[in-house]
Structure 1
Amino acid sequence: MTVSPDDPRSAYAQVADDLRRQIAAGRLTAGQRLDGNAKLAERYGVAAMTVRHALDILRDEGLIVSQQGRGTFVASDPPSIETEAAPTLASELAEIKAALALINSRLDRLEEHVADLP
């Protein structure tokens, strides 16, 4: 699955939704190691930062866990996943958090640029 530019959802939300569906359908099982960020980015046709944002959402939802130096895994006891039609509050908050981080990053770059002006 590649991210669709025609989809009104952000790219990271599309990636998170696809991975969430795979977990719900059992294609990704408890304890299974996910591919690395670079491989996921290539698969979805997005930047690695987009994948990190998507994984942050799933981590906040308790669907995945990360282990330093080992990788990211489907949680051994993931919470039940609601239907697509009823997005969870945690998912919405995670999306807001990711968007805020992106805005802060852009603001920092803008401030650096302005500081360098004569």
Structure 2
Amino acid sequence: MKKDLSNIQNNNYSIRINGDVNDVQIQQKTNNSSQIYNINSEVDYDKAIQILNEINKYIPMFANTYGENCKIAETALNEALECVSKKKNPSKLRNALSILKDVSLQASSSLIATGILELLKQIKI
């Protein structure tokens, strides 16, 4: 039995990524799929605490920077600080940093949020 391939459309997709990219997984030709992606990289807690303490200095400006998302950003920062101070739970740390990053991306027109995004890039998680 021979399969007729004449009606199958071949779609090619290009992905362009500018900047540094680490630990990326891309799925193609899937619908409603889910993925589990385990990251087993070591956390540099000393570097993380240094950067998070630097970001912590800007908490008084969070209301102007993040607006209604101010409490979300502050809670995420406090969670991340708690994780690095105990040097435990890297997945919770990654989640908190991801939330802080997402909120900062939404406020990327703010100079403070842009600075926080640049600082977060230094934490290799």
TM-score greater than 0.5 by the shorter chain: no
Of structures 1 and 2, the larger Rg is shown by 2
Answer 1 or 2: which has greater strand percent: 1
TM-score, length-scaled by structure 1: 0.28
